[in-house]
Amino acid sequence: MIKSPLGSRISRIDAADKVTGKTKFLTDMSVPGMVYAYPIYSSIPFGHITDINSAAAESLTGFIGFYTHKDIPGKNQVGVILPDQPLLVEKTVRFMGDVIGVVVADTHENARKAASLIDISYETLEPVFTIEDSKNSSGPLLHETNIACSHRVIKGDISKGFETSHHIIEASFTTPVQEHYYLEPQGCIVIPGEDQIYIIGSLQCPYYIQKAVAAITAYAMENIIVEQAPTGGAFGGKEDVPSEVCARTALAALMVKRPVKMVYDRKDDMQITSKRHPFQMHYKIGVSNSGEILAAEVRLEENAGAYATLSSVVSYRASIQGLGPYRIPNVKMESTSYYTNLPPNGAFRGFGSPQAAFGHERMMDIVANKLGMDPIEFRLINIIRSGDSTITGQELVTSVSAEETIVQARDAAYWTDIRSKSTPDSRYITGMGIAVTHYGNCLGAAGWHMDGSGASVRIREDGQIDVAFGLVEMGQGALTAVAQMTAEALGVDISRINVLPTRSDRLPDSGPSVASRNVVMTGRAIQDAVSKLTPPILKAASDMMDFPTGLLELKNDQIIDGQTGNSISFDDVLQYMFTHNIPTQSEGWWHVPPLKFDPQTGLGEAYFTYSYATHLAKVRVDTVTGLVFVDKIWAAHDVGKAINPAGIEGQVEGGIAQGIGWALTENFRYDQGKVITPGLTTYLLPTAGDIPEIKTIIIENPAPDGPWGAKGIGEPSIIPTAAAIANAVSHALGAPINDLPITPENVLNLIQRKAP
């Protein structure tokens, strides 16, 4: 038996099946009578459809059907927040990748081939690709306006703040698109039944899909059953996008009255689906001679792409976190998303946080430099501590560990020694950089209405325990954490726990597995469920042992009498419960505590708690080629409580790898709206050889609202990385890196411009 009290390092319970190939992913699945669908999408970035000719496709052997918006029985709308996005284009295509119809054929290959034979004619419109073009466009707007959404935070009086400042420093920054590149592209199978539609897919939120498919098909929501297949990575890319994929497949399945499978090829997945928003940012900071930040004026601008999708979540979060975990009395923060004729950008690990972190943490270094201060010394003057307020005026009292992450990372890295050292080798210049960030857990004030999740626990007669949860495993280790937390809550061994695949009819709408909310939400829901289950168990034990329940405790698979030390086994009590027909299952729920927040001013409680992180990066810049090598990263994370320290390290290392890719090699690019980096030979994800030694430092400062004090780690792990690397390269070069990615060409230009 694997003993696994909370907080011990255990291997992932899904690891063996995954590494041996036993796990069946969506692409491995098929059902009898299944046929295949493929999307047909716009080949131009902006315009009106004038004609659709499917004759050539229809004469292809294996062709079964071709369906457009005209075939939709319900409402042609999939916008997750704003109703601005049709499932299938009616007239106007707004990006290369806007889906116009679905073809069904006998094989995946034939469906894809038929899709390529559908001939669409357009009347083209003048597209806009950049934020500036979107703002200044004199041509037709994408929607009623080119602004998708905006958020702001207005605190104190910035003109006074700047007046009293000794120095006012300004700088601008840009960050690029990032592609999720989940291992497994988008896909699902839809099985239409008499009055039910069953869907299995690679996804992050079954409930979104339930809603979307119900609206498209005009079925009752309860009659749409959505199950999550084992999912090969998501990173936010499978939050809202699978709603489209599943709804298109469901339409096809209803039309052909057979099970239909649709899996996007990678190239098409990259052209159609959402990515990380590129940001352009302008910071203006006022400081005193002693290094106190007195005022900040910030403009964040996000390229939303063609539809709003989750832009408002990104824009909101960026506005809240856009000045980092610092005390700043006077603030004007504006965050605006602009529509452009690019694939819609949406959720991606951090929801705008890595972009905003690049802005505020580069800015902190620029200001420290101007003041002639060490970057850490400057940050420590302004860092938020318990009792301080955030820029939104939210007073933070518990689990505020920003400072501790800085201090621990600094000391582990011998910051002062290494940073001041000159390089022995003339070819390579070394640099050290820091970035400090905070991350509001869960959906925050803007998404509070939907920030609840459930779990159910059912003890079986054989002593095994089935747990269902409303969130999902997508590669991050949720199954293991859920098993650990259930075992801990019940006081039984983890080998009893069997976590069920997530399915929409097992629990009420628990929202999406995003915003680092899984451990927090599910952990609290498990505690709630168990709190309803323990009293009958103890009651049964007390009946058996003839002892008051108040002194009994469930621990180590035993019910122990605290006074005499007598015990009775969990299994014996279960037998008693089953013979006496006492129910052994319960459902638990947790909703994030109320948040007082004013969206007009952006003031108030933005999130119920925050995770803090500091990354220190040591880099080497090759002066011959301009290449940047990351030598080591120290990553200090306050996680409240580490449910599984090995799992935390996995998340931190993965987040850093993804952050390194975004900072250095990935470099996603379009040409006139067409993806020109559509695969791994051109879109350079970092390889194992590009990932340095990572020293993870876990800090546990419990959050009273988290389960056992735990806070989220999934996204905090990527947020500071790119900023720390950019600060390190700027330090090495003595020249500012204010744009990502850091390409060898730009670095070499900076070096040669500086050379005498």
Partner 1 sequence: MGKPLPQYMIDIKKLSGMIGIQISGTEVRIGALTSVEDIRNNQILKRHFASLTQAAEQFAGVQIRHRATIGGNICNASPAGDLLPGLYAADAELTILSKGGYRRQSIREFIIGPGKTTLKPGELLYNIHLPITGRNSKFYKLGLRQSMAISVVNLAISWESSSAGAFHFSLTSGSVAPTVVYLKHFADAVNSSPRDLDTFLPLIDKDISPITDIRATSDYRRKVLKNIVRHELKTILEAPVV
Q: For binding to partner 1 (CB under 8 A), which residues are involved?
A: 116, 427, 624-627, 665, 669, 676-677, 680-682, 684, 686-690, 744-745, 748, 752
Q: How far is the CB of 755 from partner 1 (least distance, A)?
A: 11
Is 397 or 688 the residue whose CB approaches partner 1 more closely? 688
Q: Contact at 8 Å (CB) between 352 and 319? A: no
Q: How far is the CB of 141 from partner 1 (least distance, A)?
A: 32
Burial tier of 719 (Cβ tally within 10 Å: 0-12, 13-18, 19+): buried
Identify the DSSP state of 505. T
The DSSP annotation for 607-622 comes to -S-EEEEEEEEEEEEE
Residues 6+ positions from 186 with CB-CB distance below 8 Å:
202, 237, 238, 241, 242, 245, 263, 264, 269, 273
Q: How far is the CB of 172 from partner 1 (least distance, A)?
A: 23
Is 393 or 686 the residue whose CB approaches partner 1 more closely? 686
- Cα separation, 729 vs 737, in Å, equals 7
- Cα separation, 159 vs 136, in Å, equals 28
Residue 500 phi, psi (nearest 5)? -85, 150
Is 609 or 658 the residue whose CB approaches partner 1 more closely? 658
Is 109 or 395 the residue whose CB approaches partner 1 more closely? 109
- Cα separation, 94 vs 88, in Å, equals 12
536: preceding bond cis by omega (within 30 degrees): no
> Which pairing describes strands 167-175 and 147-155: parallel, antiparallel, or unpaired?
unpaired
Half-sphere exposure (Cβ direction) of 279: Cα atoms closer than 13 Å: 33
Q: How far is the CB of 15 from partner 1 (least distance, A)?
A: 22
Is 89 or 429 the residue whose CB approaches partner 1 more closely? 429
Angle at 525 between CA 567 and CA 602, to 5 degrees: 145
Identify the DSSP state of 196. -
- Cα separation, 45 vs 579, in Å, equals 67
Q: What six digits make up the tokens of 706?
A: 């988290």
Q: How far is the CB of 690 from partner 1 (least distance, A)?
A: 5
Burial tier of 724 (Cβ tally within 10 Å: 0-12, 13-18, 19+): buried
Question: What are the distances in angstroms from CA 373 to CA 212, 421, 724?
Answer: 53, 17, 17
Is 314 or 657 the residue whose CB approaches partner 1 more closely? 657
Is 130 or 746 the residue whose CB approaches partner 1 more closely? 746
Q: How far is the CB of 747 from partner 1 (least distance, A)?
A: 10
Q: How far is the CB of 274 from partner 1 (least distance, A)?
A: 22
Q: How far is the CB of 625 from partner 1 (least distance, A)?
A: 5
Is 508 or 679 the residue whose CB approaches partner 1 more closely? 679
Is 308 or 429 the residue whose CB approaches partner 1 more closely? 429
Is 185 or 440 the residue whose CB approaches partner 1 more closely? 185
Identify the DSSP state of 493. -
- For residue 655, give the nearest of 723, 714, 742 by alpha carbon: 714
Residue 533: count other Cβ atoms within 10 Å of its Cβ.
Answer: 23
Burial tier of 147 (Cβ tally within 10 Å: 0-12, 13-18, 19+): middle
**Three-class secondary structure of residue 84 per DSSP:** coil
Is 171 or 684 the residue whose CB approaches partner 1 more closely? 684
Q: How far is the CB of 628 from partner 1 (least distance, A)?
A: 11
Q: How far is the CB of 684 from partner 1 (least distance, A)?
A: 5
Is 418 or 684 the residue whose CB approaches partner 1 more closely? 684
Q: How far is the CB of 657 from partner 1 (least distance, A)?
A: 12
